[in-house]
Amino acid sequence: MALALATGAAGQTVETKQYEDGGIYEGQFLNGRQHGQGTYRLPNGYEYTGEWFEGEIRGQGRAVFPNGSVYEGQFARGKPEGQGRITFADGGTYEGEWSDGRITGTGVAVYANGVRYEGEFQNAMHHGRGTMTTPDGYVYEGDWVNGVKEGEGRIVYPDGLIYEGTLVGGERQGIGRLTAPDGLIFVGEWSGGEIQGRGCLLRLPEGIAGEEGAAPFRLERTDAGDCVVERTGAAGPAAETGAEGPGYELYEGEFVAGRREGQGRALYANGDRYEGGFRNDLRHGTGTFTGADGYEYSGSWVEGRIEGIGRAVYPDGSVYEGPFRGDLADTSSDCPAPDARALIARLDAAAAPAAMSGPDIEGAASDPGEADPPGTDPPPPAGPENGTDAPEADTAPEAPPFPEASADCPFVPGRIVYADGSSYEGEWRAGAIEGAGIATYANGLVYAGEFRAGRQNGFGRMTYPDGYIYEGSWVDGQREGTGRAVYADGTVYEGEFRDGQRHGRGRIVMPDTTDAEGNTVRGFTYDGEWENGEISGLGIATYGNGDVYEGMFRNGRREGEGTMRYASGTQETGQWRDGAFVVPPGGSVPGPDDPGAPGADTPPAEPPADPSSGADASSGAPTGG
């Protein structure tokens, strides 16, 4: 080998030496070994310049590695040891502690992609405590194990989210807190990087978002898993509960993949509450909603909507039980509902035992139209305003059980009981009484039949407490079309109606009566035309004394051309005016004592048109959420 000699310090020489592996050393020697300052180069491109000690790279130096990395710092046993800085070929750097040629200890690494890590290392991996910052603003500060985030840590995400808690395998796992800039705070269980398990979710009002410490509320979770909301003293909405609500929204319960799913309790900013099932972040399954205004619903939910069988209590005290669809009372289903005639048959069957002993009509008005009947439209349930549970009806007759149209496919009716004791049971559509049903009123009226938009429409029967019954056609809450009316005194009318009055063609039969001497007086019968509740037009009247008049009437009296056939066998044909026969010139009319004189029977007036509210029966249910 070639040797270059030079004068050096006492006992030291400066030489250039080439070794069998191709390495070349140029520098100081002492006692035949590299010692002092020197440069060592290998054929693979490695080059070291710096201090040597007794043949060993030791002290301060600079190494250029075959891959282009450059290290400057302390060495021992030929390897980086202590403090040093390396610049990698890709531009990344590390500056800090080294051990046995490895990055181990505390230091700062800046990677080629801009990621910066400051903290503890072991074997060139993040290990221990450290902070990693990425160019997009992601910051992790916490524990590391072999290059993986593991243990307790804090993450600040580019979008402002902050996570504080446990990590396993680089993912959020265990108990952790997530704070969002829009005022959302979660504390609870995590798995696989997602909210999973039980937890507490707090949503702060708009306008107080930002760092949680600056918000007026703070969310804590006890060791038992209970959620506690505390005031922080910062400016913001009042925290008192009551009519104004707590000023925040809180959910306590189960989560799946970051969404509310399972059983949970929700408190809303306005004071509303919900407890029950959730799925995909929506109320789903069985649950109870309690509104701050007094509205309450318990029952089935589907994807945030009130849907299925449930019970709603309205602020005015009305109570509805039955099917819902789309937040509204709705009995629509594949199972057929019973028709109006089936409802009437059920009412008749229920009333049969009482009917066997005969009706008690003593004192009943001979004219059922003398007193105006109360309104016959079912009152609609109010929306969720204020109120308490409605009392069960105690003044209205109890309706019989609702009949099934098909045993194989049972129909489920909707039943509402109002605060005044009136009730309705039957079909509903989109929150309105629609279809066949039974309405029972606080004043004793009972209607069984068809409804449309909350009013009697179609075929139905109305029964009054005094015994008056109408069965037939209805239009918009009025008797209209063909029907049959039975009055409290036994009078029966069959025929046409319009606007709630007898109108068109019809027949009325009044019952036999008893006079002051106890003699039976035959009832009055009329068959013919009617107008606005009065006998008007062409018809035949049969009087209790046997007289029969056939001809024209006006406002209940004989008027115009007509023929009276007296029970005595005589008859008069001609003009009649105001109930009396107009005597032709030279003619005569039976005297007042003539047994052929017609009776003064007058048919009873029809009950006046029924007033109606015309309002829809809405469920007043809350909005999912």
Retrieve residue 350's tokens.
């229920």
Asked if residue 294 is part of any domain, the answer here is no
Asked if residue 154 is part of any domain, the answer here is no
Retrieve residue 310's tokens.
């449930």
User: Among the three residues 241, 271, 301, which one is the final residue of a domain in this structure?
Assistant: 271
Domain that holds residue 596: 478-609
- Residue 579, domain CATH: 2.20.110
Query: What pLDDT sits at residue 244?
Result: 60
d(CA 564, CA 587): 15
Retrieve residue 202's tokens.
């707090």
Query: What pLDDT sits at residue 381?
Result: 34
The answer to whether the beta carbons of residues 78 and 84 sit under 8 Å apart is no
Least confident of 111-120, 266-275, 352-361, 544-553: 352-361
- Per-residue pLDDT averaged across 58-72, rounded? 96
Beta strands, E only, 375-454:
414-417, 423-429, 432-440, 446-452
The answer to whether the beta carbons of residues 364 and 466 sit under 8 Å apart is yes
Asked if residue 267 is part of any domain, the answer here is yes
Asked if residue 557 is part of any domain, the answer here is yes
User: Among the three residues 221, 247, 271, which one is the final residue of a domain in this structure?
Assistant: 271
Asked if residue 462 is part of any domain, the answer here is no
- 3-class SS at 50? strand
- Per-residue pLDDT averaged across 260-284, rounded? 96
Asked if residue 453 is part of any domain, the answer here is no
pTM for this model (two decimals)? 0.74
User: Among the three residues 271, 299, 329, which one is the final residue of a domain in this structure?
Assistant: 271
d(CA 576, CA 561): 6
**Is 338 or 3 the better-scoring residue by pLDDT?**
338
Beta carbons within 10 angstroms of residue 609's beta carbon = 17
Asked if residue 330 is part of any domain, the answer here is no
Provide the domain count of the chain: 2
d(CA 27, CA 49): 9
CA distances from 303 to 278, 307, 498 (A): 8, 9, 47
Nearest to 481 by CA among 508, 454, 499: 499
The answer to whether the beta carbons of residues 608 and 500 sit under 8 Å apart is yes
Average pLDDT, the chain: 83
**Is 378 or 330 the better-scoring residue by pLDDT?**
330
Gap between the terminal Cα atoms of the chain:
87
Quick: pLDDT tens for 187-225: 999 999 999 999 999 998 776 554 444 567 889 999 888
Query: What pLDDT sits at residue 1?
Result: 40
Asked if residue 463 is part of any domain, the answer here is no
For the cut 50, the answer to whether the pLDDT of residue 358 exceeds it is no
